[in-house]
Amino acid sequence: MSMEEEVRALSAVPILANIDVAKLKLLAFISQRVTFHPGEILCRQGDEGDTAFIILRGACDVLVDSGKGEKKVAELGKNDIVGEIAVLFEVPRTATVVATAATETLSLSRDQLFTLMREFPEMSFDIMRILAQRLERTTQDLAALRSQIANHAA
């Protein structure tokens, strides 16, 4: 993928959509391209997280250990970002992410992500919006699970 293709891909990522093209070129230049093959793990639940990944191409499953094995909770693809929660909040990874197809990513270190957020405050709002959407989805999933448990107990 050429630099211009990377910049186009980055501009399609919701949290980066409002960033100037020159800054996206810099981001593409300083970030590291990492390729994952099907079955390879991008990050593992419980591990320390110091890198976020922007998916340029490919697909991944998001798995959470439920205590009775891993449960698939989401699918990710082109233009999605993963791993940002652990990077932003310095907490262990909240899920395991596994490539389900050949997946090309750009990795962003904690320092790179914080630098972008300082330079582009609107990016922080976009990240908060994405996190709020994920929280809403998780809340709905928990409510559905509680309802299932209550129905089985009755």
Residues 6 or more apart whose CB falls under 8 angstroms from that of 6 comprise: 28, 56, 106
pTM: 0.78
| Alpha-carbon radius of gyration of the chain | 17
| Secondary structure E strands in 22-132 | 32-36, 41-43, 51-57, 59-65, 70-77, 81-82, 96-99, 103-109
State how far the Cα of 77 lies from the Cα of 69, in Å rounded to an integer.
24
Going from the first residue of the chain to its last (154 residues), give the mean pLDDT of each consecutive group of 10, the final group possibly shorter: 79 80 82 94 93 93 89 91 84 93 92 81 78 80 79 76
Domain that holds residue 72: 3-153
In total, how many domains does the chain have?
Answer: 1
CATH of residue 79's domain is: 2.60.120.10
